[in-house]
Amino acid sequence: AVGAGAEKKRSKRIILRQRQRQASVGIEDPSTTMPEGTGGGRGRGRGLSRGRGRGRSRRGGRGGGGGNNGNKGGDSTTPTKASSKGNNDSKKPNEQTPTKAPRVDPIEEKMRLMGDQDVLIAFGPFIRAGNQDAVRVHQQYLSNNKQIEFINNARQFLIGQERRANETKPILPVEAKTVAEIEAAHGNNNSTQNNAPHDVMQPNLPTLPPGLLTPQKLPSLPPGLTSPQRQQQQPQQPQHHQGGIQNNNNMLRAMPVGLGHNTNVLPPGPPPGMPPGMGLPPPQNNTVSQINRPPGMPPPMRPTAAPVATEPMSSLPKPSSSILPAPTPAPVLPPKESKTEPDTTPAVKTPAKPTKQWRIQTRCEEQPGRLFANDMPAASFNLAAASQNKPTSLIARTRSELTARWVLPLPYLRNRAIRRFEELKNAAEESKVTRPPPQNLTIRDALKTLTVGLFRRGAMDNGASSSIVSKEILCADSKDGPDKDYFFNIDQRTDTVFGTVPFYAPRTPGNVVFRLYFEDEPHVTLACGPCIEVVPNDSDYDSVLRFILSNFKSKKTNGMSSLSALATVFEMFKPRRTNANFNDAGRMAWGCVCEARKVVEQAAQKFVNQKEEIEERLEAIKIKEELPDLKSLNVSGGDNETKKEEDENDDTDAKNDAVMKDKFTNERKWREMQHAYSSILQAVVSNKYIHLLMKRDLLSTMRLEYELWCPLCDAFAPIPFVKTKFEASKMPGNVSAFPYPAGKDHYQMCRSSKEEMQQTMLGFVPQVDNVGEIARGGKKGRDFFLDLSSAMNEMYTNEYAVSEKVWRRREQVRAAIEQVMSNSREFPPGTKVAVFGSSANGFGSPNSDLDLCLSIPASAADFTNDGKGVEAMTNLASKFTAAGMRDVNTERLTARIPIVKFNVPYNDNGTEILVECDLSLQNPLALLNTSLLRTYATISPMSCVLASIIKRWAKSRDINNPSKHTLSSYGYVLMLTYFLKNARRGDGNPILPNLQWVDPQWAQNPTNPYREIAAKPKSPQTLVAHPTLENYVVNSYFYRQGLEGLQKYCADNNGPSTIGVLLASFFHYFAYTFDYKKHVVSLGNKLVEKEVKAEEDGWSVYKSGLAIEDPFELFYDVAHVVKANNFLHIKKEFALAYSKIANEAQSKRDIITGKELIDMICEPVSQDEGRD
């Protein structure tokens, strides 16, 4: 009986809810009539709980009272359920009222659809702005701590603000222009001044009486406001209503009456308070919709959907000409009653999957728009802060409020909208679709799919799939309510569109950036914001680690992002109060470590399984290759069988390549997983505050784990504390087997296990002791490096120093080539032949090839752009043959920089010598690099000696061949220069000054301390256009005059044993010290992070290998040819060279000579040591 009664009550509640929903939309249903005597339902007041009073037993009984300060329920004056809204003026039972429900207030409906977080985001700025009502609501919450009541009060406050704002808004609906009118109005923007650049994409304004827009009447008005008198003189505009909600979406986009098309109303130039030249308006000065709102913040509500594009206004003149073909007339469809816009996209056939398009316009200087994070511009436009050594990045707490403010020029949006229209039109014509492209273009069409995204700094791609969160400015229509567009408006003073989008900072720490792009063209970056450093506070670590733990347990990804986030938290853990309680955060941290081990264990099992599968596939291919073919069995199947056999061989090769690719991919993923886990251990071991977060026994276990990690092998050694080899090889293994407390014997056991693995994988045990300790190890160490330095100087003098005779020979060859070029008359007058590269920069040898280039005068700069250059080079090659030059090769004439290779015979006292020459066309940056390195060689001859030994070592060890995906000689010279400018003398000054940043006054008289300039000078003499890239300017400045002071400064560094110590330190630095994962080899004035290069120049942030920035072409990675396996081999060779020096310096037997040590270091690589 009890169950039947409960079911009956439940059915009754369901029926009552259905009737209430029908009544709310005005549906009359005779079947819903309730019999006489049925009471009203429980009233739902505006408090926190449902009212409990039942209605009186009459037709139209009184509803129950609301709960917790809510109004009491209204009287049921209809046969339906009692109204949930309180009403003190209840009607008499016998009164008759219409059964249709009252119209829903659109503002209350939109506020009801807003989520709690959106309400808090919109309410927060009012508190900061000091609004008395908002402060009163917030103080009430602080006193009673009732969160639900606080959110409801904040929602009611926002409703009132929105109503007051709407009372002052001018009613200016946007009328759309047809494509033909756009084409006619802007087909020739340069021919007349009437075609203002903002006419295309700004909303159409009504025709106003003459004299209304006189400039004399407007200066007294605040920007963005309109006088009531002028509003009264406007012709009435039609109002669009839809479903009871006034559809005034575009009235926020319309320019205020009083501005119109008259650009002389407001003073020219950027708005006050903005950096000069930016042209970025403050939102609070230009938008009508922000009345009674805090300045600089988005409105608490987002406007509703735009109406369907209507016919153009009859008052506009008909277009007389068009830059595009006039579209065929199409019937004008009436606006639909639905809240979604009609789909005007033509149904085209799905094209083939395009190739991946890399992100372009990565540098802020190349981007058409601007993007601010909490009003802070990008670092490229924050030069004032950079020159004063102030931070150019924004620091934010996790989950703190962020505001992205974007600006785009209207001409750019106009051109893009017309281009997209052309693309749709062409697609419709090609697919023969009867549905035409859209016939009207408005500002909403131009902003369609415009998106602001929050990305991890250095993310390779734009788009929703790569972002942390992305928000389109014009949100798609929703079935549950009106549109929720983010705020935007038009500024006629700067001819731009601007807007704001609210965000929250991520839950995990790290560097993030805002990006502006179109979702349908995500590879084109329109604007980038400044770097936002998300740093947790002491009270945030618990929630941050809890979030990472939930990500681990969700298992939605492979866990790499969670591993990286955990390592970042441990690395950044630096509490402000050492007595803070981190017990909860500590438990979360240890839980994350345990989950991280599970992720690594699963990856290890997957690696083993795929490895076994790949080995089986390779074995099957090998067996198939060993089977005898038809020819060996004297069996012939004719031409068809031969062709079939060739196809099978090709198929076998393709399968073999695919298997090897899978093998390398499997090894790479497993290596990256181990590297990510080692980053967690390294962060824990190196953080001196970590004991405040984790217990000592747990830290002891993690320190022992880190002792098993070898960065040269990119692998963990077997655990020495387990019984079987199978358990020892498991990764991460049974961590409960690690002893506590850990003593010296336990650490020695881990080191012994690692050394055994190194001997197996590397062929030697790396020596990691610091070179300074070895050099200071008594007389034996000093004598060792003294002998090594003497041998290096002697070898350079005998084998690498370029004599005057060699310089004379190179000059004669250069002059002969220039004579042939001049006689050919193929090049403009004034063209010269210049020498660059190792033959001229001082870091070469007498046997270096002669690299030359044709330097075209500035007056004939277009010679290389219109194809004449390649044709002239081809004709010149034939002249070389006629002039007696040999082996002329023109295969590389089609390269980015055309090159002709040939040999020039030279008579050296009766002996013919062939000088190898490479002649390129117009390579000014190569000449610039040569001049820079030549200046380094001039002030520091010691660097030439070091470079000669390093190049000798690299060539001998087979790691100096870009064609085999290893590093070039130029790359090794840049690495040496980077090392010398960062190495310090005893007084703290660098061993080699940075010529691109050294202070000229200090360079003329080098005294303590060393000084650098804040910014490079920019002048017509220093700024050089890139020879192949448009709109890219190279700053060619470096200090090159008055070198006597720098020569004396560098000579003081060259002690008797300095060169030997520096050679050993160079190998040690790039084997163990340099962080290849985070940093870039750069000759800049500060440490360059790989994330920055990935963000600005599109480099791969996931590439854990070597990256070298060119000194002048900052976007170019000199080491981009180096593959991952080859990088590991290069790093191994650095460690091997240093280990040979350290082992010999510390050896108890007789020390070998310096020359013998150089020969040992530069021992040619054997076939057994070759890479796979």
911-931 per-position pLDDT tens digit: 888 999 999 988 889 999 999
CB 528 within 8 A of CB 422: no
User: Which pLDDT score, from 0 to 100, does residue 447 have?
Assistant: 93
In this predicted structure, the answer to whether residue 400 has a pLDDT above a threshold of 90 is: yes
Q: When comparing pLDDT for 610 and 1008, which is higher?
A: 610
In this predicted structure, the answer to whether residue 34 has a pLDDT above a threshold of 50 is: no
In this predicted structure, the answer to whether residue 1144 has a pLDDT above a threshold of 70 is: yes
User: Which pLDDT score, from 0 to 100, does residue 241 have?
Assistant: 31
Reduced to 3 states (helix: H, G, I; strand: E, B; else coil), residue 908 is strand
Overall average pLDDT of the 1007-1022 stretch: 89
Of the pLDDT bands very low, low, confident and very high (cuts 50, 70, 90), residue 887 is very high
- How does the average pLDDT of the chain come out, rounded? 75
Environment class of 664 (CB within 10 Å of its CB; exposed 0-12, middle 13-18, buried 19+): middle
**Alpha helices of 96-146 — where are they, by DSSP H?**
106-113, 116-128, 132-144
User: Which pLDDT score, from 0 to 100, does residue 324 have?
Assistant: 29
User: Which pLDDT score, from 0 to 100, does residue 1035 have?
Assistant: 94
Residue 652: CB atoms within 10 A of its CB come to 13
Overall average pLDDT of the 702-706 stretch: 93
User: Which pLDDT score, from 0 to 100, does residue 18 have?
Assistant: 63
User: Which pLDDT score, from 0 to 100, does residue 381 have?
Assistant: 83
Q: Which of 175-184, 235-244, 938-947, 1150-1159 has the highest mean pLDDT?
A: 938-947
User: Which pLDDT score, from 0 to 100, does residue 215 have?
Assistant: 29
970-1005 per-position pLDDT tens digit: 999 999 999 999 999 888 899 999 999 999 999 999
User: Which pLDDT score, from 0 to 100, does residue 610 have?
Assistant: 93
755-802 per-position pLDDT tens digit: 999 999 999 999 888 887 777 766 777 888 999 999 999 999 999 999
1082-1128 per-position pLDDT tens digit: 999 889 999 999 999 989 887 768 999 999 999 999 999 999 889 99
Q: What type of residue is 916?
A: E
User: Which pLDDT score, from 0 to 100, does residue 1095 have?
Assistant: 92
In this predicted structure, the answer to whether residue 367 has a pLDDT above a threshold of 90 is: yes
In this predicted structure, the answer to whether residue 257 has a pLDDT above a threshold of 50 is: no
CB 535 within 8 A of CB 396: yes
User: Which pLDDT score, from 0 to 100, does residue 517 have?
Assistant: 96
User: Which pLDDT score, from 0 to 100, does residue 150 have?
Assistant: 87
Percent of the chain with pLDDT over 70: 69
Residue 1057: CB atoms within 10 A of its CB come to 18
- Residue for token digits 């009272």? 65
In this predicted structure, the answer to whether residue 1076 has a pLDDT above a threshold of 60 is: yes
- Per-residue burial over 559-581, b if 16 or more Cβ lie within 10 Å, else e, is beebbbbbbbbbbbbebeeeeee
CB 909 within 8 A of CB 843: no
User: Which pLDDT score, from 0 to 100, does residue 432 have?
Assistant: 62
Q: When comparing pLDDT for 138 and 586, which is higher?
A: 586
Per 3-state DSSP, what percentage of the chain is helix, strand, and coil (rounded to 5)? 45, 10, 45
User: Which pLDDT score, from 0 to 100, does residue 1167 have?
Assistant: 62
632-687 per-position pLDDT tens digit: 545 445 555 555 556 666 677 788 889 999 999 999 899 999 999 999 999 999 99
Supply 197's token pair. Answer: 């650049």
CB 1022 within 8 A of CB 1035: yes
* CA–CA dist 844, 517 (Å, integer): 47
Residues whose CB falls within 8 Å of the CB of residue 134, separated by 6 or more in sequence, listed in order: 123, 126, 127, 154, 157
448-469 per-position pLDDT tens digit: 899 999 999 999 889 888 999 9
In this predicted structure, the answer to whether residue 906 has a pLDDT above a threshold of 80 is: yes
In this predicted structure, the answer to whether residue 243 has a pLDDT above a threshold of 50 is: no
Q: Which helix (H) or strand (E) holds 715?
A: strand 715-716
777-790 per-position pLDDT tens digit: 667 778 889 999 99
User: Which pLDDT score, from 0 to 100, does residue 928 have?
Assistant: 94
Overall average pLDDT of the 129-138 stretch: 84
Q: What type of residue is 149?
A: E
